[in-house]
Amino acid sequence: MLIKIDNITVINIQQLVRIYVRNTGGSGGFYEVIAETLNHQYPIERCLTKTKAVAMLDKILNQYDRGQRVIEL
């Protein structure tokens, strides 16, 4: 499955080492869904709450077994 992050970046989920949610910290911190390959980290989505970030991660994982296609987030 391919994930289109922006207009010029598409990543293949089969090449990911891990995908997770992290808190950026700080006073104006937010949560990011991060896709990590062996040599790069791709921020897929930034959310104001952890609930929204986890929902985005669930959306990606629920789409995984539906064949090779591109999803836009």
> How does pLDDT run across 29-65, given as a tens digit for each residue?
899 999 999 999 999 889 999 999 999 888 888 777 6
Residue 41 in contact with residue 73, Cβ under 8 Å? no
Cα–Cα dist 49/43, whole Å:
15
Residue 11 in contact with residue 19, Cβ under 8 Å? no
Burial of residue 1 (number of CB atoms within 10 Å: 0-12, 13-18, 19+): middle
Inform me whether the pLDDT recorded for 27 exceeds 70.
no
Inform me whether the pLDDT recorded for 69 exceeds 70.
no
